């Protein structure tokens, strides 16, 4: 559902930012916004209200907005708070991680232009699939039973088909 059709419920909460000049400045800023502050300082609240305002007042089709974070947990929290304001998922809004943004908006649409072998449909490997792939790689490179490769090598694995058996 397009966010424009939703009431301006965010305005009732935007007044809460007036008591904090930093939050108010971030909310009122035009263009890109990066909020750097300590825990519990109201970063998420400020970003959610700013994003709600941007979607309601500034972004018209075919334009869109992206709210990029570093963790899935943060992306889920941003989405939950937007939903509390009555804002639902929209095709012109991306809320997610850096990796998700690159995958959905760069690799998938433009990978074929660079002759990258991007399988379709693309699926992100589960943690179990990533751990199994890491074990197979370790077994092939270092021998069966050898300690696995360094932690984190496949943390952002992408899989388009079943892994090769061997």
Q: Backbone phi, then psi, for 151, in 5-degree steps?
A: -55, 135
Burial level of 152, CB count in 10 A (0-12/13-18/19+)? exposed
> In sequence order, what are the residues at sequence separation of 6 or more whose Cβ sits closer than 8 angstroms to the Cβ of residue 123?
158, 159, 160
Confirm whether residue 135 is marked as ligand binding: no
Sign of the Cα torsion 114, 118, 120, 126 reads: negative
Confirm whether residue 43 is marked as ligand binding: yes
Cα 103 to Cα 12: distance, rounded to the nearest angstrom: 36
Confirm whether residue 41 is marked as ligand binding: yes
Among 46, 45, 87, 91, which residue's Cα sits nearest to residue 65? 91
Confirm whether residue 86 is marked as ligand binding: no
Where is the binding site, in residues?
A: 37-44
Where is the binding site for ATP, in residues?
A: 37-44
């Amino acid at each position: 559902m397009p966010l424009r059709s939703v009431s301006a419920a965010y305005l009732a909460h935007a007044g809460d930012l007036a008591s904090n000049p930093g939050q108010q400045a971030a909310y009122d800023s035009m263009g890109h916004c990066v909020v750097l502050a300590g825990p519990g300082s109201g970063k998420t609240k400020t970003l959610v209200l700013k994003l709600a305002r941007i979607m309601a007042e500034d972004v018209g089709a075919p334009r869109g907005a992206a709210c990029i974070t570093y963790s899935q947990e943060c992306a889920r929290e941003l989405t939950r708070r937007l939903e509390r304001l009555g804002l639902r998922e929209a095709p012109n809004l991306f809320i997610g991680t850096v990796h998700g943004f690159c995958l959905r908006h760069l690799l998938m649409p433009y990978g074929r232009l660079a002759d990258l072998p991007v399988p379709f449909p693309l699926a992100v490997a589960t943690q179990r699939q990533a751990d199994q792939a890491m074990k197979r790689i370790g077994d092939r490179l270092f021998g069966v039973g050898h300690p696995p490769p360094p932690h984190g090598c496949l943390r952002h694995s992408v899989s388009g088909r079943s892994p090769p058996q061997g």
